[in-house]
């Protein structure tokens, strides 16, 4: 088999600034050892997130020039609406400026205080929007999904028995809808099988509980189904996506992911009453229902991007990148979460740095070492981001200490990844010299963005 190449060539370039090791040490110090506070320009390979960081195609840029900026009923809106309906088959389509805006409208119209919203794993903005209106966000991930060393095809699946138990315990009237996140971002970007989505639907349907898909990475999930689920090899990704959405009563979407755009989102549903409620709030929060906080040119870029994300060659290349990095790291013995996710590879900082106590944040140790070694920016998903406090104010560690290396779409080439592999191997070699950290400043909410660290 020949090398899987990037299925594009580069027409516009953006220079990467490579600063010296000494300059990086200084930049990290000035940022109080928190890579969120470092200037993007000082990061040579920026893997902080795959959200809105992708490169657009010539077709997308050309479509942007066709943007119709009319306030109501623009041509670009028609293009967007037609495309989303073609892909999902869902009736009502509301554009929003991001995924979280769609979540906010969904939560504020349908959730009452004390309601329970099951999901495989809630993404942090989804959870925040549910909790903000007094709901309870419940994670019902399958047992396989929590074992970082296990290589299984669909570690994003929901535990169906837990879903049944949840309905039994809390009662149908407490559950206005159920969600499923494809792929499961907070659970390592692991896919959800169609068999699981079908099973979820068959549990919900007799109770009349609607199913909402958190669809941010629906195209990556469709690719995994194509590769890993029996009976889908011969199908186009568009057919698989259509089947996924056929079990849903609605969906929320961040077009910064599989919309291959830098901004945008949508909220869709089949229920006419819901649509009316959503629209009322959309007009106050986001804008008129035919633009929803987006410029006409954004709607055009998304309409093209959604289709490109479903191109088979694109997904083959994207997942080859994930596999390339994860297999090289496994060969080198670097502990990672298995298998690689749809949009990221996760280093297991707890197994990498067993000499560091979880409350001295091994994930931050790894993140900062990657930055000093090669200007690589990753993100800690561990006790800093997910840690909590008990009633007496005692800090509790997170069950996992991970470092996520998220892949912007169509941005980095194989040589960038070869460089990344060299950097990680070097950090791994010198792991014993990495120290833990303590927090010297933090805010009450979402502390990871702004807190200050000092080495211990």
Binding residues vs ligand PLP (CB under 6 A): 51, 98-100, 123, 125-126, 181, 185, 214, 216, 254, 256-257, 265
Query: How many Cβ atoms from other residues are within 10 Å of residue 22's Cβ?
Result: 9
Start-to-end Cα distance in the chain: 49
Shortest approach of ligand PLP to residue 428 CB, angstroms? 28
Q: Which is nearer to ligand PLP, 252 or 321 (CB)?
A: 252
Q: Which is nearer to ligand PLP, 44 or 299 (CB)?
A: 299
Return d(Cα 397, Cα 248) in angstroms, integer.
Answer: 36
Q: Which is nearer to ligand PLP, 337 or 424 (CB)?
A: 337
Shortest approach of ligand PLP to residue 127 CB, angstroms? 10
Pairing outcome for strands 344-348 and 452-455: unpaired
Return d(Cα 315, Cα 342) in angstroms, integer.
Answer: 9
Give the burial class of 252: count Cβ atoms within 10 A of its Cβ; 0-12 exposed, 13-18 middle, 19 or more buried: buried
Shortest approach of ligand PLP to residue 168 CB, angstroms? 27
Residue carrying structure tokens 């320009």 = 41
Return d(Cα 424, Cα 428) in angstroms, integer.
Answer: 6
Q: Which is nearer to ligand PLP, 123 or 437 (CB)?
A: 123
Residue nearest to ligand PLP (CB): 99
Q: Which is nearer to ligand PLP, 34 or 181 (CB)?
A: 181
Q: Which is nearer to ligand PLP, 185 or 196 (CB)?
A: 185
Q: Which is nearer to ligand PLP, 217 or 350 (CB)?
A: 217
Calculate the alpha carbon distances from 227 to 39, 65, 312, 319 in Å.
39, 36, 11, 11
Shortest approach of ligand PLP to residue 36 CB, angstroms? 15
Shortest approach of ligand PLP to residue 182 CB, angstroms? 8
Residues in the chain: 456
DSSP H/E element including 395? strand 395-396
Shortest approach of ligand PLP to residue 1 CB, angstroms? 32
* Residue 28 three-state SS: helix
Shortest approach of ligand PLP to residue 99 CB, angstroms? 2
DSSP H/E element including 94? strand 92-96
The answer for residues whose C-beta is within 8 angstroms of residue 321's C-beta and 6 or more apart is 407, 414, 417
Shortest approach of ligand PLP to residue 351 CB, angstroms? 25
Residue 320: what are its φ and ψ, rounded to 5°?
Answer: -65, -35
Residue 234: what are its φ and ψ, rounded to 5°?
Answer: -85, -5
Pairing outcome for strands 344-348 and 388-389: unpaired
Shortest approach of ligand PLP to residue 418 CB, angstroms? 28
The residue among 265, 264, 258, 266 whose CA lies nearest residue 305 is: 258
Give the burial class of 15: count Cβ atoms within 10 A of its Cβ; 0-12 exposed, 13-18 middle, 19 or more buried: exposed
DSSP H/E element including 438? strand 437-441
Q: Which is nearer to ligand PLP, 125 or 368 (CB)?
A: 125
* Residue 217 three-state SS: coil
Q: Which is nearer to ligand PLP, 254 or 383 (CB)?
A: 254
Shortest approach of ligand PLP to residue 212 CB, angstroms? 11
Q: Which is nearer to ligand PLP, 33 or 315 (CB)?
A: 315
Shortest approach of ligand PLP to residue 163 CB, angstroms? 19
Q: Which is nearer to ligand PLP, 128 or 160 (CB)?
A: 128
Shortest approach of ligand PLP to residue 422 CB, angstroms? 29
Per the CB < 8 A criterion, the answer to whether 380 and 441 are in contact is: no
Residue carrying structure tokens 């997942």 = 319
Q: Which is nearer to ligand PLP, 51 or 76 (CB)?
A: 51
Return the bridge partners of 40, or none. none
Residue carrying structure tokens 């057919």 = 239
The residue among 182, 200, 189, 178 whose CA lies nearest residue 145 is: 189
């Amino acid at each position: 088999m020949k090398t899987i190449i990037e299925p594009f060539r580069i027409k516009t370039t953006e220079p990467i600034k490579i600063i010296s090791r000494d300059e990086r040490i200084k930049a990290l110090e000035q940022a109080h050892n928190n890579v969120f506070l470092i200037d993007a320009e000082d990061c040579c390979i920026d893997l902080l997130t795959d959200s809105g960081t992708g490169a657009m195609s010539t077709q997308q840029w050309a479509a942007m020039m066709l943007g119709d900026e009319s306030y109501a009923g623009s041509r670009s809106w028609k293009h967007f609406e037609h495309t989303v309906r073609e892909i999902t088959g869902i009736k009502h389509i509301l554009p929003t400026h991001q995924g979280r805006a769609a979540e906010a409208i969904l939560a504020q119209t349908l959730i009452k205080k004390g309601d329970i919203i099951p999901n495989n794993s809630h993404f942090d903005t989804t959870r925040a929007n549910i909790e903000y209106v007094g709901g309870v966000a419940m994670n019902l991930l399958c047992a396989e999904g929590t074992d970082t060393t296990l290589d299984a095809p669909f570690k994003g699946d929901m535990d169906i028995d837990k879903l049944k138990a949840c309905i039994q315990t809390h009662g149908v009237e407490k559950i206005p809808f159920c969600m499923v996140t494809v792929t499961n971002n907070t659970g390592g970007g692991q896919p959800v099988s169609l068999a699981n989505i079908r099973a979820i639907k068959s549990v919900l349907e007799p109770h009349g509980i609607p199913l909402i898909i958190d669809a941010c990475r629906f195209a990556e999930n469709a690719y995994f189904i194509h590769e890993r689920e029996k009976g889908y090899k011969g199908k186009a990704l568009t057919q698989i996506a259509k089947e996924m959405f056929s079990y849903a009563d609605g969906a929320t979407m961040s077009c910064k992911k599989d919309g291959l755009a830098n901004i945008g989102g949508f909220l869709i549903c089949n229920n006419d009453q819901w649509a009316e409620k959503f629209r009322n709030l959309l007009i106050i929060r986001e804008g008129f229902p035919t633009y929803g906080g987006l410029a006409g040119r954004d709607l055009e870029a998304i309409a093209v991007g959604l289709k490109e994300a479903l191109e088979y060659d694109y997904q083959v290349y994207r997942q080859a990148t994930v596999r390339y990095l994860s297999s090289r790291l496994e060969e080198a013995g670097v502990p990672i979460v298995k298998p690689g996710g749809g949009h990221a590879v996760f280093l297991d900082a707890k197994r990498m740095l067993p000499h560091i106590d979880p409350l001295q944040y091994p994930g931050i140790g790894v993140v900062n070492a990657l930055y000093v070694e090669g200007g690589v920016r990753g993100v800690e998903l561990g006790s800093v981001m997910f840690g909590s406090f008990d009633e007496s104010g005692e800090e509790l560690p997170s069950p996992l200490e991970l470092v996520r290396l998220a892949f912007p779409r169509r941005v980095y080439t194989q040589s960038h990844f070869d460089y990344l592999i060299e950097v990680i191997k070097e950090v791994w070699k010198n792991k014993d010299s990495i120290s833990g950290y303590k927090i010297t400043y933090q805010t009450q909410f979402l502390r990871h963005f702004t807190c200050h660290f000092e080495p211990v």
